[in-house]
Amino acid sequence: MKNPYEWLAAAINNHTWTVAGIAAAIFIVAFFGLSMVTMQTGDETYVDKATPRGALLNHYTETYGSDAIMLIYEADSVRSPDALRYIDRLQEDLRNERYVAGVSGVVDLLKQANGGTLPSSKAEIDGIIGQAPPELVERMLPSDLMTISVIALEPGVSQEAQEQVLGNIESAIRISEPPPGLAVTVSGTPAFSKEMGEAMGAQMGMLILAAMLLMVLAVMLLFSHVRYRLLPVGIVAVGLIMTFGFMGLFGIPVSMTVIAAFPVLIGIGIDYAIQFHARFDEEIRHRTIPEAIRTTVANLGPSVLIAMSATALGFIAMFFAPVPMVADFGLVCTIGVVSCYTAALIIVPVFAIVTRYRPKKETGASSPAPEHGNSFIEQYDRFLGRLAYTVAKHPISIILLFAVVAAGGYYLDQSVPISADEKTFVPDDMPALRDMEKLTRTMGSTSTVPIVVTADDVRSPETLAWIEQFGVYEQENNDKITGVTSIATLIREYNDGVMPSTGREIDEVTARIPEATLKRYLNGNMEAVLEFSTVDMEMSVARDLVGRMQSDAVWNNPPAGVTVKITGSMEMFAAVMDDISDSRTYMTMLGFAFILGFLILVYRKFGAVSPVIPIVFIVGWNGAIMYLLGLDYTPLTAVLGSMTIGVASEYTILIMERCEEELARGMEFLDAIQTAVQKIGTAVTVSGLTTVFGFSALTLSTFNIISNFGIVTVISVGFSLVGAIVVMPAVLALMYRYTGHSRVPAVAGIAE
């Protein structure tokens, strides 16, 4: 039976246009999917709805949760009658908007104290404000220069509906004709999410363009010894479009981390294109085009397939991450590497036939006698060969040196902090973030920690007593808690400050509470919510707060049959920190396990572990760099370990494969490793440096989470090159020394 790659080479040689037509049809289908790509922000990118935590958060959001849109009014005096009349008129208009549950502001306080009408003079306004509760005035009217209206949305409103409401509010403000000197700013979590999504969309285009330009520059500088040196750029563009298209067709959204996948794919995809182009250019110097295509496709195709599969397995390990955006990152990268590999495998030989490819003047990259050349490429070839030869003769000292550095890196990695605060991921100067910070400074923290209580009857005297007691306990014993609202506090409020003692009295008081208010804290007779307001704090402190409240709930011993669960955004981000801490190690170990199992399955010998050993070192070096640069682990940098495994495995596998190929031709081991590194080392270096150029586009991002990821990935790719060119020959030398090889004589005589 003919090898599939030999069959493909024959098909390309004999039916070039048919193969090109099939490839073009697949490309057109993928191109159609571009229009179906969507952006995604919000809770769904951090927590899976199918998990108990995600299901509870989704239930809370749809049943109780009400995101609020804030309107910030700023003027020389927001207490002026003209400004307040404008605010009142605008609020009335906005109450009629769909999905708006209510609008409140300082004008409501004034109207309530003035018999339902707005005071007409500054003196009346100042008099009412002077008699109002100070804490209420402080939140609604922090100064004479600014006031705030709160637009509460209905529970369970989708992100799309929130954006629709935001658009309607912005339109209403534009046509509302505010008094001279009065500025109105839309803020709040929905506005923050909308602006972040728009910034992500703009950022994605900028990053892809920057990565492509940097890649073109790298190819022009480093790949000049071949004809049509920009061909790999076109191949990557095709692979990228296919990736986008399949994302749209499969319904995979673009999130904050998925944006970073595209420069990553550009960096990895250029490697496949360069490998095929360089190998074909090497073969065409000694063969006809059909022979060169057959040799390139049949020999290099399987090698790069193994390397690509190992890379994909590193990304597949991310599928098991508990954070959805990380899993999506792994899925997009997996689709991308397959698309780029397929594009390179087909386009290079088809392009060669169509253009009747002719190589440039012979250089050291392919010269049978490179020792006579003086070009930079020739000198670099000889340097790599000598380096590999020297390393292979002294493997133990080299491995010990790099192993000690890696061990130190693994130790330092445990001290790298973890961050899951969404506000630290976005640009510091993003207007929506600045507005949110202004709100926090003015109103205090708008964060809450909801606790869902379920029981056979949450309105029973025993359960209500526990709900009230737990709320009081948290306020008295936790300095991060500033207040609590629950069905118990509402019942006491609507019963003149007295808690009813019987079920009948409770029902009578409950009936007096407005339905809209009651629904925020009570769902039938079996479920209720306590809303704890908190001070503004860093996410690491919030994580400790959530853990303490969970312990407090257990310690306060709820009545039999009562269950207590914490949910909400703060609990979600605290859980994300735990997920990052646990999953980064889990994904790395899983990536190692996948690739090790794959290599043993493919090669069926102990020496198959060779490509993994340098990667173990590289992952350790990454930990040291994270610590020394003062970077945090985020949902994106958490994938660094498994991504490094995928990227570095390609380089180490290609070195081993070429060494095997030279051994199969009858070379002695030292000559084989020298020739392998000398011939493929330049291509690996060029593709690696081009990958660095692609990844470096990430550092241009204004999103801190992406730019920091760019820094560590650029360094990681550099480490991967060192691991492949320096560490891999040493590992292969030890493997051949102590295990021997069926194709060549034993190499026990290699001196240390």
Quote the CA–CA distance of 571 and 560 in Å, as a whole number. 25
pLDDT in tens, 233-264: 899 899 989 998 998 888 888 776 777 777 77
CATH class given for the domain over 67-194 = alpha beta
| 218 close to 691: Cβ distance less than 8 angstroms | no
- Residue 339: what pLDDT? 93
Model confidence at 445, pLDDT cuts 50, 70, 90, reads: low
| 246 close to 343: Cβ distance less than 8 angstroms | no
What percentage of the chain reaches a pLDDT higher than 90? 15
Quote the CA–CA distance of 552 and 634 in Å, as a whole number. 29
- Higher-confidence position of 46 and 621: 621
Return residue ranges of the chain for CATH 1.20.1640.10.
Answer: 4-41+223-341+350-422+574-739
Does position 751 have pLDDT exceeding 70, yes or no? no
- Residue 655: what pLDDT? 86
- Residue 369: what pLDDT? 42
Angle value at C-alpha 283, between 277 and 289, nearest 5 degrees: 85
Query: Beta strand 183-188 with 522-523: parallel, antiparallel or unpaired?
Result: unpaired
Does position 743 have pLDDT exceeding 60, yes or no? no
CATH T-level assignment (fold) for domain 4-41+223-341+350-422+574-739:
Multidrug efflux transporter AcrB transmembrane fold (1.20.1640)
- Residue 8: what pLDDT? 92
Quote the CA–CA distance of 485 and 531 in Å, as a whole number. 5
- CA 522 remoteness from chain centre: 36
Using the 8-state DSSP alphabet, how is residue 72 labeled?
A: E
SS3 annotation, 412-427 = HHCCCCECCCHHHCCC
Model confidence at 177, pLDDT cuts 50, 70, 90, reads: confident
Does position 373 have pLDDT exceeding 70, yes or no? no
Does position 617 have pLDDT exceeding 90, yes or no? yes
Angle value at C-alpha 130, between 126 and 134, nearest 5 degrees: 135
Give the mean model confidence (pLDDT) for residues 730-741: 77
Choose the most confident range, by mean pLDDT, from 527-541, 694-708, 709-723.
709-723
The pair of structure tokens assigned to 662 is 């030279």
- CA 304 remoteness from chain centre: 27
Quote the CA–CA distance of 437 and 447 in Å, as a whole number. 12
CB atoms within 10 A of CB 429: 8
Does position 367 have pLDDT exceeding 60, yes or no? no
3-state secondary structure of 558: coil
Return residue ranges of the chain for CATH 3.30.70.
Answer: 67-194, 432-573
Burial 190-229 (b: 16+ CB within 10 A, else e): bbbbbbbbebbeebbeebbebbbebbbebbeebbebbebb
Does position 601 have pLDDT exceeding 60, yes or no? yes
Quote the CA–CA distance of 421 and 539 in Å, as a whole number. 6
pLDDT in tens, 548-579: 998 998 898 888 888 999 988 888 888 888 88
Q: In this structure, what are the phi and psi dihedrals at residue 522, rounded to the nearest 5 degrees?
A: -140, 135
Does position 112 have pLDDT exceeding 90, yes or no? no
Model confidence at 111, pLDDT cuts 50, 70, 90, reads: confident
The pair of structure tokens assigned to 735 is 């493997």
Residue 383's contacts (CB-CB under 8 Å, 6 or more residues apart) are none
- Residue 375: what pLDDT? 64
- Residue 368: what pLDDT? 43
Quote the CA–CA distance of 406 and 394 in Å, as a whole number. 19
CATH class given for the domain over 432-573 = alpha beta
Does position 540 have pLDDT exceeding 80, yes or no? no
pLDDT in tens, 286-332: 889 999 999 999 988 888 898 888 888 888 988 888 888 888 888 88
Does position 746 have pLDDT exceeding 60, yes or no? no
Does position 113 have pLDDT exceeding 80, yes or no? yes
3-state secondary structure of 671: helix
Does position 156 have pLDDT exceeding 80, yes or no? no
Quote the CA–CA distance of 290 and 511 in Å, as a whole number. 86
SS3 annotation, 704-744 = HHHHHHHHHHHHHHHHHHHHHHHHHHHHHHHHHHHHCECCE
Choose the most confident range, by mean pLDDT, from 102-106, 182-186, 442-446, 540-544.
182-186
How many angstroms separate the first and last alpha carbons of the chain?
Answer: 45
- Residue 443: what pLDDT? 62
Give the mean model confidence (pLDDT) for residues 348-362: 87
Report which of 111, 103, 187 is spatially closest to residue 151, judged by C-alpha positions.
103
Using the 8-state DSSP alphabet, how is residue 449 labeled?
A: E
Average pLDDT of the chain?
83
Quote the CA–CA distance of 731 and 610 in Å, as a whole number. 6
Model confidence at 531, pLDDT cuts 50, 70, 90, reads: confident
Using the 8-state DSSP alphabet, how is residue 179 labeled?
A: P
Does position 659 have pLDDT exceeding 60, yes or no? yes
DSSP, residue by residue, 16-32: HHHHHHHHHHHHHHHHH
Does position 152 have pLDDT exceeding 50, yes or no? yes
The pair of structure tokens assigned to 487 is 């069905």
Global pTM value? 0.72
pLDDT in tens, 668-700: 888 888 888 887 777 778 777 777 877 788 888
- Residue 506: what pLDDT? 87
Model confidence at 442, pLDDT cuts 50, 70, 90, reads: low
Does position 437 have pLDDT exceeding 80, yes or no? no
DSSP, residue by residue, 255-280: -HHHHHHHHHHHHHHHHHHHHHHHHH
